[in-house]
Amino acid sequence: MRRVASGIMALAAVVAAGACASATPREPAPRKAEYLVFYADGKQHQAEAAIERAGGSTYSAETKLGYLLAGGSGAGFEEAVGADPSIVGVSPDRQIGFATARPATSGTGSSGRFPDEQSFTKTRGEPLAGRQWDMRMIGADRANAKAPGTKKVLVGVIDTGVDGKHPDIAANFNRELSRNFVTDRPKDDKGETLDGPCEAADCKDPVDADDDGHGTHVASTIASPINGIGIAGVAPGVQIVNLRAGQDSGFFFLKPSLDALTYAGDIGVDVVNMSYYVDPWLFNCAANKADSKKEQLEQRAIITGMQRALDYARQKGVTLISALGNGSTDLGHPTVDKQSPGYPKGDEKTRQVDNSCINVPAESKGVISVSSVGPSGRKAVYSDYGEEQTDVAAPGGDALDGEGIKVTRTILAAAPERVLRAAGRIDAKGEPKGADVVKDCENGVCSYYQYLEGTSMASPHAAGVAAILISRFGKPGRGGLELAPATTEELLFKTATPKACPTPRQYVYKSFGQSETHACDGGESDNGFYGHGIVNAWKAATVER
């Protein structure tokens, strides 16, 4: 996977003021380094004055979320602006996230290959339905026929993009409403490869492209149609809207994330899936003594900015669903963060953290956070957890859930052919090189699928169930259906299958001579491993209000 995009967003240069009498044209004056400056309610003018006093310039204002896009230069600019009482956070306009998927080939040894898998018995449904243990676990295979969802429901995928031309996505892909909020960045400011060469002339990919594959896998799990091809998603009748906020490399910038959430609210999206965690800070702390003032201001900006965007979308009727994360961490009792700040590379430090530090957006207010389970129903070894943090659980796969390693214990969903070719997962003839990729050809049409695991794969299962509930109980409005996010959340919890903590509660994961212990707190109806339970598409399709 290609790595993170450039740290500071470089916008178009500002043409130098005044005309030059010389025949030689003047070079345009570049804009200063850019920052998102978040101000307190009603304090926009004071914030603009603070920026000016610090030697900066205000380029634009986003009054919906209460921040200014500003330019500044010189050491101490952020601290100087942040010292003003009108300012609540200052962040460089750079990446803050990374998609939370794990390749199905992880942990398989140097070859990166899985052992040959067993053959699959043909089952009712789509051609590859026999491989979808995840859909059987939550009753989606039965729910598909009874309550597949309606085209009036829009599910936004805030991710690395969606391959809208994939044969098993195209029928449910809304190209007109889809947007790409990012620009590809071939290299970072140190000259290291990030996204790689741009595919489009202006480095702005079309709205139906995904050069990473993560977003396509998520979208497929939510809503691959029933069309006699490949697989079916949890809600095969709803529409997918690509709200691209992630780079090809899998990282996310703050402003595109804010823009995607705001746009989702403005156009009437019903559910958004956010399968990524924020970066450069794995844990965002408002006042950690281990951090400099500049670092504290950046983390406050991330916490504040994302919360404002999430609140805006939720107030507009968007149900917010997020992956919990893949750090094997009790988010209610974090102690050490060794991964932050994750950008630029080499800046990581070991710092003590506590429960005042949060993972965004998983721990942001108003967000339904999803842990991951394997085919046995146990919490996946990699999945984050926490009594206050886990709202529901869903199948996300766990290759280690049983004896040895099996790729088929992870989640199968659509993959872009171009991405698989670039990664060397299919050969020149288009044939898979390993068991982690599946090719399905029906009536002369071939499509590709890939096994992945992670809370990224769990979250879209919950998003699909939410889409079923909105399809059933939503009322006409804004050109589609509307169901208050609080009501959707209540129904999602009500229809989940309760699952108690394991006995003993100190669950020991063992594999390849190693072990680690995760402690599960809470009762059967709400606990740190499974929240209110494992989402259930069949109950969502049949429950009565």
What residue ranges of the chain have pLDDT lower than 50?
A: 1-30, 105-122
Q: Give the Å distances, CA to CA, from 484 to 205, 267, 534.
A: 33, 15, 22
**b vs e for 131-163, b when ≥16 Cβ sit within 10 Å of the residue's Cβ?**
bbbbbbbbbbbbbbeebbbbebbbbbbbbbbbb
Catalytically annotated residue among 134, 168, 214, 270? 214
- 372 in catalytic set: no
- 159 in catalytic set: yes
pLDDT value at position 96?
59
Break the chain into its structural domains and give their ranges: 33-93, 99-542
CA atoms within 13 A on the CB side of 440: 24
Catalytically annotated residue among 141, 159, 259, 270? 159
pLDDT value at position 98?
62
Catalytically annotated residue among 372, 456, 459, 471? 456
169-213: per-residue pLDDT in tens? Answer: 999 999 999 999 998 878 766 677 778 888 888 888 999 999 999
pLDDT value at position 109?
30
CA dihedral 209, 306, 462, 241 (to 10 degrees): -30
- 141 in catalytic set: no
Cite the DSSP H helix spans in 347-454: 417-422
In single-letter form, the type of residue at position 355 comes to N
- Which residues touch 160 (CB under 8 Å, ≥6 apart)? 99, 210, 211, 212, 213, 214, 215, 244, 246, 247, 248, 250
Determine whether domain 33-93 maps to CATH 3.30.70.1400.
Answer: no
In single-letter form, the type of residue at position 260 comes to A
The CATH number fitting domain 99-542, selected from 3.40.50.200, 3.75.10.10, 3.30.450.20, 3.40.50.800: 3.40.50.200
pLDDT value at position 19?
31
- Which residues touch 431 (CB under 8 Å, ≥6 apart)? 439
SS3 414: strand
